[in-house]
Amino acid sequence: MTAIADLPDIRPSLLLDFANSGRVDPRIQCTRASSATCWGPDGKLRTVPANVPRIEYDPMTGKCLGLLVEEARTNLLRQSSLLSDTAWVKSDVLVTPSDTQNALGLSFIKLTPISGAYKTINQSLSTVISDNQIVAFSVFAKAGEMNTIRLGVGNKASIINAGHFNLLTGEASRKEITGKYFGDGWWRVTLSGTDVSSGSATPRVHIYSINNGDVTTPGDGVSGLYIAAPQLEVGSFPTSYIPTEDTAVTRAADAVSIALTLSGG
């Protein structure tokens, strides 16, 4: 006798099969006090209104991944969708915005080093972070003539933690920097596990365009790579992208409950 022979020949009254159904059972109550983003079946980022559940899809395959439920997080970076804005300081680099969005539905720029010592786009936070807070710094990136992105987190005086990631091979310089491939050459690269305070209440983030991990690569004003949607959040891992403009933006937590009526027997 097999184990399945002992099971009742009836269907369950509640089947939470989000991935195969692509929908949320109406008895599932989903609340979230803000809008939020997720990947749609077309592989593009979409914005979902407050209190609407998010069904997530794999942007590469279009496969439904199920119901996306996340804790509250804040993107501490300003102008995450407009990297040409003055909120981002350009040091020995050219920033060229694209007229179109990329295959993921994100606005992006080309980051091109020129001659000089720094070759970085960077931003100082306007939000104070308390001591001993771990953050995750992520950015979408694609190789151009240059193939390596370098991410750094520090204070106003110096970079405390940094690492680079090869956008062609997927190789990272250290375990704290990782990449998730999204297709069409685009990766989401993350530098995590960094205590950004380290004696400063005003952290700064840096994004560099380099080649083969060589930070001394001279800039020629033509060669570069592409970046989009940077995010800095308190936590040990990155969450769904939170677009920002002039201020930091918080995505509220997803709260999920089931409305059931139990009958006595």
pLDDT tens, the chain, 265 aa long? 444 555 555 555 555 555 555 566 677 888 999 999 999 999 999 999 999 999 999 999 999 998 999 999 999 999 999 999 999 999 999 999 999 999 999 999 999 999 877 889 999 888 777 777 788 999 999 999 999 999 998 766 566 688 999 999 999 999 999 999 999 999 999 999 766 655 554 678 899 998 888 877 788 999 999 999 999 999 999 999 999 999 999 999 999 988 766 555 5
Residue 14 to residues 5, 28, 31, 32, 197: CA-CA distances in angstroms? 21, 10, 20, 23, 47
Q: Classify the C-alpha dihedral 78-160-176-207 as positive or negative.
A: positive
pLDDT of residue 1: 43
Q: What is the DSSP letter of 214?
A: B
pTM, rounded to two decimals:
0.87
Please give the Cα distance from 155 to 195 (Å, whole number): 10
Sheet holding 204-210, edge to edge: 89-91, 120-124, 204-210, 148-154, 159-166
